[in-house]
Amino acid sequence: MSTPQLSGEELFNRYQDGDEEAFVDIVKMYMEGLAIFINNIVNDEHEVEHLTIEAFARLAVGGRKFARKSSLKTYLYTIGKNLAVQHVKKRKGEQHLSFDEMIRVIADEVNGRRNNQNGRTRIRYRCICTFARK
């Protein structure tokens, strides 16, 4: 029995008492706003859905940690914020190169190891150069 007029906290209590439909109502209540909130942090529409679903999954599984010192919305958005910040930190650690930069880096690697080239580096360089010509 769906009861969307209940507060998030009341729905969460029902969910913890075994009413799985109450969790569906929680998702409906907060999904759009949480997705917008997460997108404002990660600025990556492709990751928003994944991170939003992960936030709800963590709420569903780890809901016992919800101490009710704040609203369910605040608790859920904190989960979403933490996931988004972790994603941004992980992404900052990745180096993104343009195709031309990648070719230059590999060419430098090949030229620097001209006397001691390993097979993988040569193959990688040839593959990228072949791809670049097409």
pLDDT digits (tens, 9 = 90+) for 77-126: 999 999 999 988 887 766 555 666 666 666 665 565 544 445 445 455 55
DSSP state of 18: T
- What's residue 31's pLDDT? 92
Task: Pick one of 3.30.70.260, 1.10.3720.10, 1.10.1740.10, 1.10.287.70 as the CATH number of 8-93.
Answer: 1.10.1740.10
Q: Could you give the residue ranges of the DSSP H alpha helices within the chain?
A: 8-16, 20-42, 45-62, 72-93, 99-112, 119-133
- For residues 69-76, give the mean pLDDT: 87
Which tokens go with 125?
Answer: 């360089």
Q: Using alpha carbons only, what angle is made at residue 102 by residues 98 and 105, rounded to the nearest 5 degrees?
A: 135
Q: What is the pTM of this model?
A: 0.64
Collapse the DSSP code of 64 into the 3-class scheme (helix H, G, I; strand E, B; otherwise coil) and give the result.
Answer: helix
